Chains A and B, each alone.
Chain A
Amino acid sequence: MKLIEALKILREALPPDAEPLTVFLACGFMPGHLETFLAAHLRRLCPSKAVTMETGLYGDLAGSLGRLTTSSAQAAAIVIEWPDLDPRLGLRSLGGWRPEQLPDILATAQARLRQYLDGLAAAAGRMPVALLLPSLPLPPFAHTSGSQMSPVAAGVQQAVATAAAEAAQMDNVRLANPQRLDARSPLGGRLDAKSELMSGFPYAPAHADAVAELLVSLLQPPAPKKGLITDLDDTLWRGILGEVGVDGVSWDLDHHSQMHGLYQQLLHSLAEAGVLIAVASRNDLALTQDAFARPDRVLPADRVFPMEVHWGRKSESVARILDAWNIAADSVVFVDDSPMELAEVGAAYPDITCLPFPTRDDQAAYALLEQLRDLFGKERVSDEDGIRLGSLRSASHLREHTTAGTDPDRFLADAQATLALDFSKAPDPRAFELINKTNQFNLNGRRLGEAEWQARLAAPDTFLLVAAYEDKFGPLGKIAAILGRAEASGPVVDTWVMSCRAFGRRIEHRCLEHLFAKLDAETIHLDFAPTERNRPLQEFLASFLGAVPEGGFALSHAQFAAKCPPLFHDVKEPSVA
């Protein structure tokens, strides 16, 4: 993006119902074009938001970090450059580069980084933070030639790397990846010495644009995809299984098919991080099972569910996989080496991301691995991620029983279900994640920002119910959250979400029953709004009201009790210390 484009974007009219989005840019230099580019990239990514930027004072990064703890901004971008570590590492200081001064430059840099990390941790307690560590070239301050790394420059770089390792582990801190910036903005073109000396803004416009784009991608990351459907022949492995047999397909260096092994390795890694992996292949099932049984396979068969292997159309396989996963097509990536298969699936499911596997092009295949990591990248791997696949198998088992004519009451009574209902308002990242990614069982589709979430939990009139489920088929983990507030007229639930993995177990009924009891309420107001995707919740409400309500309404305990089916969960409440 050029500067004039950024300015034009910022001139565009906002929708009348634009929600405010305030981002604090904390840096020690003049924010200049970086502020412009940041605001423009935010506007482009969030056209319905009225973006406002806040900035601190020139040369006072520590002060800006301090102000973040009382700022009303919803997010922060923190950009640290060399002069913030020691002014002698910038062009506007004449403090000296004499050899005897170098150890003091290193010591100052180490001390300042410690100070910034403390400020960063405090800021991240209030809002999500995108952090960029020094991206400019170090000035020629040390005694070695530019080709040789001096001990003090190595020491400064080491201090920054140590700070990066600490910052990357902090909750709510998203550290910018310097490799991604290197790919977008070559090191030699980043510094604008004239601008730095004239106005205190050190970035060339193209670098400011690249930095802004990277920071915005961290502050407003796209929702990660949830599932990947892969082909087998010339995709998961090299070769056509039906032609060359189980021992003829390969994924190793010896057969020049290592990229397929790396693809399997990535899929295994994704699966362990909670991504759903399925196979859709026109193949022989028995042969496929034998191939997966090979001791050298990298992706184990038990990490794949379901395995749609037959001679029917791929789009039919995809339909069954989506049904088993119970997720929308727009959360799924389909990988196949055949352009025809990609086109067939793409036509049936336009929202699926269809990606070709470039079988004979290692460089392109490597780029695919990077692209997949981007599409599925997530900030943290939670306990729920580790049990997602097991719970889906269990859900599939449950569906098979209920559709096979088994009495649902008897099936649920035999499930030995335990529901842990936590009413403690303890900050729970999983509850926050559920609120911001659940679509189907969602009271009104409303999302919460980090700052709003923290403020709601701190409010004395707020109540929060978090439900975790387990039965004899395995644990589902934390699968539901209800957020509300006590008002004079009675409790109001404004957020209610439940994972689609938990459908069909009457967990929603038990949660509501528990809410009536804990709040000692005769009626609960549900701040419902229909959305394009919350049909499961609409059907749940209609089971009490006889029809889907048009908007918010009060549900009485009598209405609830009259229609509530038998519940078989063993309810547990965590003991309060």
Chain B
Amino acid sequence: MPDLHCRLMECFAAVFPGLGEAEIPRASFTSVAKWDSLATITLIGVLEEEFGVSVPPDDLELLVSFELILDYLRSKTSAA
């Protein structure tokens, strides 16, 4: 699903403006200094708006890297 990948890249670029295009696919909670709890809330808000999904609080701990979020969105959007 290349479209999903591109759209998620755009979301990351908006929330983490310091990340370069090559860095975004490797971004994770531990590798990006500005990825703190406030950034997580902003990122989740953007994802919910952009992809029309609702992320339950219990799922937050799973969403700690670009790859994991991409997998999560694939599962959510294919389930829908």
Contact = CB atoms under 8 A, between A and B. Distances in A.
Nearest to A9: B14
Contacts of A33: 42, 45
B49 A4 contact: yes
A8 B14 CA distance: 6
Given A36-B42, A199-B41, A205-B49, A4 B17 contact: no
Contacts of B14: 4, 7-8, 11
B50 interface: yes
Contact of B46 (A7, A11, A195, A199): A7
B5 to A, nearest CB: 16
Contacts of B60: 198
Interface residues of B, number: 18
Contacts, number: 42
B57 A3 contact: no
Contacts of A205: 45, 48-49
Contacts of B17: 7, 11
Interface in A162-198: 194-195, 197-198
24 contacts: A2-B50, A3-B46, A3-B49, A4-B10, A4-B49, A7-B14, A7-B15, A7-B42, A7-B46, A8-B14, A11-B14, A32-B38, A32-B41, A32-B42, A33-B45, A36-B42, A194-B54, A194-B57, A195-B41, A195-B45, A198-B41, A199-B37, A205-B45, A205-B49
A116 interface: no
Contacts of B45: 3, 32-33, 195, 205
A23 B17 CA distance: 22
Given A11-B14, A194-B57, A4 B46 contact: yes
Nearest to A36: B42
B63 interface: no
The 5 closest A-B pairs by CB, nearest first: A7-B14, A11-B17, A199-B41, A4-B14, A198-B57
B18 to A, nearest CB: 10
A2 B15 contact: no
A112 B58 CA distance: 35
A61 B23 CA distance: 40
Nearest to B56: A194
A199 to B, nearest CB: 5
